[in-house]
Structure 1
Amino acid sequence: MSLTAPTPPAPRITYGAVLCSSYVARLLGGTLIGRLPNSMAPVAILLWATANDGSIAFGGLLGALYGLASALAQPVKGRLMDRHGQSSVHLPTALLNSTLLVALPLAGPYGGPGLAMALVCCGGLATPPLEAGLRALWPSVLPDLRLRHAALALDTGTQGLLYIVGPLLVAALASAYNPAVALSVTAALGLVGTAAVALSPPSRRWRPERSKDRGAAPMPRLATPAVTLLLVSLTGIGFAIGAMNVWSVSMAERHHQDMLAGIIPAAFSAGSLAGGLIYGRRTWSGTATRRLIVATAAFLGGWLPPLALPAPYSATAAVTVPGAFLTIVVACAYVTTDALAPSGRTTEAYAWLILSIGAGHAVGTALAGRLAELPLASAALPAAGAAFALAVLLAARRRLIPTGHPQRGRHRRLRWGGYKTP
């Protein structure tokens, strides 16, 4: 008979415990506020253009240019953070981005379309890389793996709120005042949120891990087959989201219910938030790669009911299912990226992940727009994107498990505030 006392179960993780950890609430809140311009600026730019005798097509072009420029610049800013730290990148980009957004309504009418396009492109390029930066901070702020798991799920799940709150806030400001005020508020929120993150001790002191045996050797190669295949698979996830947004607009037109264009994406985002909250409250067995594949399969399964061309309310309820699994897919993708990326280039790898999803989103939006008049094809595109993602992950599953070490958070060993995390 063993006299060894049974090991007590680990205390249950709560989001209250996560948010009460040092700097977590400030970092998460600042990042959400600082990233609101990602959802506000394209809408505010569109409204400003149409209010100044521009066409909807031109306003849409300006909004698309802002989003595309923001996505394309992410890897460059990620590499700069890996080399020079976070605050030296966050603060200048936020200041430049806010200045250009405020300058657009002041200079746009005098320089014509060319100047407006230049200001919008430069503003997008200067978008602060807050999302990648926050993911790189979690290991140093939360050494406890379970708390970090919950924080990552909470961080990923709340992103959907940006695309609900942001456009609504712009619409309210433009209606009560004018689009120029909406652009000014957008600029102010971006600057305030970014400053809250960049001036915090974790962000100011953060430095990436450097391999001790690398010395003065050049930076290790990031574009390994494993990382490349992972990023390719995530373009399918972005494709599904972009196609879903257009599908919701076509549903609204087909059923003569304009609100569906906003309600369906909002239901998808609500499902994402709920899925993230549930996922982050418990510890899951198996590797992050295995969870990524299972969650992607469930994400694909969630897009099958729309193929039956359901009624509006049924379609709205149906999209909450793939939304719930989206957070798990993205959270596991970040953990897998962290394990696969070489030391000293993790933030840049995160930025490429964001770019991959954004590029897929743009392609899905464009193709869905061409097929919007075909109900079945429009409804099938999100499933097609998810199927592509799953196929690539299944083909690459052996490569996605790092050899020679278990999956882990590579930044666990970086120094922060004089304390070396385990």
Structure 2
Amino acid sequence: MSLTAPPAPAPRITYGAVLGSPYVVRLLGGTLTGRLPNGMVPVAILLWVTATGGSIAFGGLLSALYGLASSVAQPVKGRLMDRHGQTAVHLPAALLNSALLVALPLAGPHGGPALATAIVVAAGLSAPSLEAGLRALWPSVLPDPRLRHAALALDTGTQGLLYIVGPLLVAALASAHSPSLALAASAVLGLAGTVAVALTPPSRHWRPAQSASRGPGPQRRLTSPGLVLLFVSLTGVGFAIGAMNVWAIAMAKQHGQDMLSGIIPAAFSTGSFLGGLLYGRRAQAGTATGRLVIAGGAFLAGWLPLLALLGPYTATTAVVVPGAFLTVVVACAYQATDALAPAGRTSEAYAWLILSIGAGQSAGTALAGRLAEHPLDSAALPAVGAAFALAVLLAARSHTVPARSPGAGNAAASPRATYHHPNSTSSKHT
């Protein structure tokens, strides 16, 4: 009989341990503050246009252009971060973005629609890529994979709060003063949050790993079948979100309750936040791709009750379920991307992930707008997007062989890329 004692179970991960780790609160809080303009600026632009005598159609166009420009520029900024570090990209982008947001209400009325459009597009293109940057920092800030798993879930889950707090803050500022003040507040918050992140030692000293192959071979490419199929699948996730937002407006119109257009997306975001909290406390089992397929199936199942054409209160409750699994899908997608992307290209890969969801969301919004007058079609579109995402994920399983182990893309190869964690006895490379 063996007298060897069984190994002691690993201590349970708590969010207190995550938030108590060096720099986590500053990085997470700074990123959320710096990204708050994502939820503020589109609403503020729309209110500013209508307040200055423009049409709702033109205001909606400018809002859409800001979001589209911000999404399209993500991979470019991700690649620049992989080459030159985060601070060198974040700070100039934030300064330019904030300056343009402040300039819009000053120059827009005098230059006409053309100048306003140019300023909005330039502001969107220069929005700092804080989300991709933060995901690249977690391996250096939290070397323990379990803490990193909880931090990623917390980070992903709290993103929904941006689209609850942001529009409410804009509405309050515009009502109390003017939409111009809301734009100025967006500029200040975006710059303050970005500076808080960019000046932390982890961000200042972050550098990506150097690939073992510097040639144009497969290790250096982001076009592997696994990554491409993963990004294509995420367009379906974004499609479901965009269609849900329009469906909420259609529900509000159908039932004569204007508040539903905001309450339903808020319930969805609340589910996302709660799902992130629960997921982050659970131990990881299996591969990131396997967890992603399971979460994708649950995400699809969460949308199916909408096909019963639920009443407003039941529908509001129902969207909490797919919202909860959205966080799991996105968190697993980041982990799968980290495993599949070649070393030295992680920030750019994360940026393509963000762009994929954003592009799908725009497509879902556009198609749902055309079908908004048909209740069943409108309610079915989120499930259609989720079904597409799951189908592509299932097809991609044979192609998702990791290029390296998760987190490996954040280990630096050069001395200047070394970041020394204050609580460690050895250098951690980022």
> TM-score surpassing 0.5?
yes
The reply to whether residue 235 of structure 1 matches residue 230 of structure 2 is: no
1:282: how far off?
A: 1.8
Code of the residue aligned with 1:221 in structure 2: it is R
Could you say what secondary structure the match of 1:207 adopts? coil
Moved >4 Å (runs of 4+): 215-219
Gaps of 5+ in 1: none
Q: Given that residues 289 and 401 in structure 1 are in contact (C-alpha distance below 8 angstroms), is that contact kept between their aligned partners in structure 2?
A: no
Could you tell me how far apart the structure 2 residues matched to 1:107 and 1:200 are? 34
Count residues in correspondence.
419
Code of the residue aligned with 1:163 in structure 2: it is Y
1:216: how far off?
A: 6.7
Partner of 1:348: 348
Code of the residue aligned with 1:72 in structure 2: it is V
> Which structure 2 residues correspond to residues 324-403 of structure 1 after superposition, within 5 A?
324-402=324-402
1:420: how far off?
A: 3.1
The reply to whether residue 249 of structure 1 matches residue 249 of structure 2 is: yes
Code of the residue aligned with 1:364 in structure 2: it is G
> Which structure 2 residues correspond to residues 1-12 of structure 1 after superposition, within 5 A?
1-12=1-12
Partner of 1:43: 43
Could you tell me how far apart the structure 2 residues matched to 1:336 and 1:98 are? 33
* Distance change in 2, residues 1:14/1:206 (3 Å): same
1:37: how far off?
A: 0.5
Code of the residue aligned with 1:408 in structure 2: it is P
Cα deviation 1:137-171 (Å, max 9, x = unaligned): 00011000000000000000000000000000000
Q: Given that residues 202 and 416 in structure 1 are in contact (C-alpha distance below 8 angstroms), is that contact kept between their aligned partners in structure 2?
A: no
> Which structure 2 residues correspond to residues 22-421 of structure 1 after superposition, within 5 A?
22-211=22-211, 213-215=212-214, 220-402=220-402, 407-414=405-412, 415-418=417-420, 419-420=427-428
Q: Given that residues 341 and 349 in structure 2 are in contact (C-alpha distance below 8 angstroms), is that contact kept between their aligned partners in structure 1?
A: yes
Q: After superposing the two structures, state which structure 1 stretch, 98-107 or 392-401, moved more.
A: 392-401
Code of the residue aligned with 2:318 in structure 1: it is A
Gaps of 5+ in 2: 421-426
Could you tell me how far apart the structure 1 residues matched to 2:246 and 2:299 are? 18
1:412: how far off?
A: 4.7
**Root-mean-square deviation over aligned CA pairs:** 1.3
Q: Given that residues 154 and 280 in structure 1 are in contact (C-alpha distance below 8 angstroms), is that contact kept between their aligned partners in structure 2?
A: yes
Could you tell me how far apart the structure 2 residues matched to 1:395 and 1:305 are? 26
1:217: how far off?
A: 6.4
Code of the residue aligned with 2:418 in structure 1: it is W
Could you tell me how far apart the structure 1 residues matched to 2:234 and 2:213 are? 31
Could you tell me how far apart the structure 2 residues matched to 1:255 and 1:282 are? 39
Could you tell me how far apart the structure 2 residues matched to 1:86 and 1:402 are? 25
Could you tell me how far apart the structure 2 residues matched to 1:417 and 1:160 are? 31
1:214: how far off?
A: 2.5
Q: Given that residues 299 and 322 in structure 1 are in contact (C-alpha distance below 8 angstroms), is that contact kept between their aligned partners in structure 2?
A: yes
Code of the residue aligned with 1:398 in structure 2: it is S
TM-score by length of 2: 0.96
Cα deviation 1:241-295 (Å, max 9, x = unaligned): 0000000000000000011000000000000011110000021211010000000
Could you tell me how far apart the structure 2 residues matched to 1:41 and 1:179 are? 10
* Distance change in 2, residues 1:215/1:390 (3 Å): closer
Could you say what secondary structure the match of 1:158 adopts? helix
Could you say what secondary structure the match of 2:153 adopts? helix
Q: Given that residues 339 and 408 in structure 1 are in contact (C-alpha distance below 8 angstroms), is that contact kept between their aligned partners in structure 2?
A: yes
